[in-house]
A = this chain, B = another copy of it.
Amino acid sequence: MNFDEALEKLHEIDRECRYLDQTAAVLQWDQETYLPPQGVADRAEQLAFVRKLVHERFIAPETGRLLKELGSDSQNLRGDESLSPLEGDFCKVMRRRYDKAVKLPADFVSAAARAEGLSQAAWVQARRNNDFAAFLPHLNAMIDFARKKARYWGFGNGLLGDEYDGLLDIYEPGMTARNISALFGPLRDGLISLLKRIAARPQPDVSFLNREYDVAAQIRFNRVLMDRLGFDSSRGRLDVSAHPFTTSLGSDDIRITTRYYPANLLSGLFSVIHESGHALYEMGFPREIRGTCLAEGASMAVHESQSRFWENVAGRNRLFWDGLFPLLRDHFPGPLASVSVEDFYRAVNLVKPSYIRVEADEVSYSLHVILRFELEKQLFSGELEPEKLPETWRKLMKEFLGLEPETDAEGVLQDVHWSMGSFGYFPSYALGNLYGLQFWAKLSADLPQAEQAMGRGDFEEIHRWLRETIYRWGCRLDPPDLLQKVTGEKLSITPFLSYLEKKYTGLYGL
């Protein structure tokens, strides 16, 4: 086999694995949106089997052989033939994934997938019934699978780092609990201090937000909103699920979900803005990498930097609503009759600690995340027994946000992540805030008019900048390299804290 044939063969493996990954994503999307209740058991088997197949296909000895022939990174040459930078990155990403995947036995992957399906279904029930005890056996199983996975990769034996570092590495390559703690410590202190200063000031009247907002009108407005944000509905959809998410079922099939409450306009609406931010990233990969393993976000945190940019920096900006509030009022002429854009702007920026992460304000949000990070660290160090999670959750909530949830449904059971075994994922949300504000600072410097343009409902300059500086890379650059290339900086909490300080000083007259 010559060099070009080997490269084409590696692309074929990537494509086939991608078809199966996308197929698994369809099974999963359907599970979260439309699956009939009794379909859960078969679906778990189907998902487990498809995941087993993709794993087997990917770790076949052929993959390792091809990677060896092609060299593992963009610097490698073979004879006089060299890889283009693009193909070099392709081989680098394939190599990294192969090295991880090949260490997981097929039976383990398949058993984990099956257990995740059942665990998620159990979580849906447990949350509905506020019954942590019913979920605990599944949680224990998920922790056990996660520990084993980290150990298969060589973590937890004193060499590469602790088990939890192995899990963090899945979502944020190279990040460790120590690095994150170094950022989250001062971030927590800064946020708690800002929260206290805000709490001492008078609050705006936001009672209009809990009027009756017709769900059909919410759905209609969300479709218009997505369209304005640049979501291409010929390449995606919006549906309803218990927990909002974004998923790519194909290069031209990127789907988001939200949920609706008649007496809570903002929940469904801001989930749509958040998930649209993820979707714009996925829709924005350039043609040259579409349909390959490079057409993915640089990391979970960088993905979150996009969703949280649209949700907060754009979606909670006064200018954004100058452009869109008239349209919103057209959809809800009753409940918004006497509400001004200024009232609405203040309301969507209400800072008021509450139980639910995905509905938290911009200031307290990261504290929800830091809380989960602390719990995960303690769970995996063995300091915290899983059955003690509900009470430790309440203790930390009290410490960070000054309140205690009355039910586990509003506490430890609120998020889907642990039910899927996705430990180590949560920090991405707060790291995403940091990345997002560093990108925004650079974008504002490059394009001083971009923020004003929002006020005319015009996001074109922002889209172009994001496409040309971030989307274009897919996962070709690791997050620190991407950040360096775009901003010339290292990850920092300063832009994020300065942004909050300035914005909320204005809003609350601190």
Bound together, the chains give a CA A53 to CA B16 distance in angstroms of 10
Bound together, the chains give a CA A225 to CA B113 distance in angstroms of 37
Bound together, the chains give a CA A49 to CA B17 distance in angstroms of 10
Bound together, the chains give a CA A46 to CA B249 distance in angstroms of 10
Residues of B within 8 A of A36 (CB): 233-237, 252-253, 255
Mark each residue of chain A from 9 to 42: 1 if its CB lies under 8 Å from any CB of chain B, else 0: 0000001100110110011001000111111011
Residues of B within 8 A of A234 (CB): 36-38
- A50 and B23 contacting across the interface, CB-CB below 8 Å: yes
A34 to chain B minimum Cβ distance, whole angstroms, is 6
A491 to chain B minimum Cβ distance, whole angstroms, is 35
A250 an interface residue at 8 Å Cβ cutoff?
yes
A410 an interface residue at 8 Å Cβ cutoff?
no
Tell me the nearest residue of chain B to A252, going by C-beta: B38
A458 an interface residue at 8 Å Cβ cutoff?
no
Mark each residue of chain A from 284 to 305: 1 if its CB lies under 8 Å from any CB of chain B, else 0: 0000000100000000000000
A361 an interface residue at 8 Å Cβ cutoff?
no
Residues of B within 8 A of A249 (CB): 30, 39, 42
Bound together, the chains give a CA A15 to CA B46 distance in angstroms of 10
A357 an interface residue at 8 Å Cβ cutoff?
no
Tell me the nearest residue of chain B to A235, going by C-beta: B38
Bound together, the chains give a CA A45 to CA B43 distance in angstroms of 22
- A42 and B250 contacting across the interface, CB-CB below 8 Å: yes
- B16 and A253 contacting across the interface, CB-CB below 8 Å: no
Residues of B within 8 A of A27 (CB): 23, 26
Residues of B within 8 A of A35 (CB): 253
Q: How large is the interface on A (under 10, 10 to 19, 20 to 34, 35 or more residues)?
A: 35 or more
Number of copies: 2
Residues of B within 8 A of A38 (CB): 232, 234-235, 252-253
Residues of B within 8 A of A41 (CB): 250, 252
Bound together, the chains give a CA A23 to CA B49 distance in angstroms of 10
- Residues from 189 to 228 in A contacting B, C-beta threshold 8 Å: none
Best-surrounded residue of A41, A53, A236, A250 (most CB of chain B within 10 A): A250
A219 to chain B minimum Cβ distance, whole angstroms, is 13
Mark each residue of chain A from 230 to 252: 1 if its CB lies under 8 Å from any CB of chain B, else 0: 00111111010000000001111
Tell me the nearest residue of chain B to A30, going by C-beta: B26
- B23 and A237 contacting across the interface, CB-CB below 8 Å: no
Residues of B within 8 A of A50 (CB): 19-20, 23
- B42 and A251 contacting across the interface, CB-CB below 8 Å: yes
Tell me the nearest residue of chain B to A39, going by C-beta: B253
Given contacts A30-B30, A53-B53, contact A23 B37 (CB under 8 A): no
Bound together, the chains give a CA A234 to CA B37 distance in angstroms of 5
Bound together, the chains give a CA A234 to CA B38 distance in angstroms of 6
Residues of B within 8 A of A250 (CB): 39, 41-43, 46
- B30 and A42 contacting across the interface, CB-CB below 8 Å: no
Residues of B within 8 A of A42 (CB): 22, 249-253, 291
Residues of B within 8 A of A46 (CB): 19, 22-23, 26, 250
Bound together, the chains give a CA A43 to CA B23 distance in angstroms of 9
Residues of B within 8 A of A233 (CB): 36
A200 to chain B minimum Cβ distance, whole angstroms, is 49
Bound together, the chains give a CA A34 to CA B255 distance in angstroms of 10
- Residues from 255 to 305 in A contacting B, C-beta threshold 8 Å: 255, 291
Partner of A252, one of B34, B39, B239: B39
A44 to chain B minimum Cβ distance, whole angstroms, is 10
Residues of B within 8 A of A23 (CB): 23, 27, 46, 49-50
A-B contact pairs, 12 of them (CB 8 A): A16-B49, A20-B49, A22-B42, A22-B46, A23-B46, A23-B49, A23-B50, A26-B30, A34-B237, A38-B232, A39-B249, A41-B250
Closest 5 CB pairs of A and B: A42-B250, A39-B253, A38-B252, A19-B49, A38-B235
> Knowing that A30-B30, A41-B252 are A-B contacts, what are 18 other residue pairs whose CB atoms are under 8 Å apart, sorted by A's residue number?
A15-B45, A19-B46, A22-B42, A22-B46, A23-B23, A23-B46, A23-B49, A23-B50, A26-B26, A36-B233, A36-B237, A36-B255, A39-B249, A41-B250, A42-B249, A42-B251, A42-B291, A53-B53
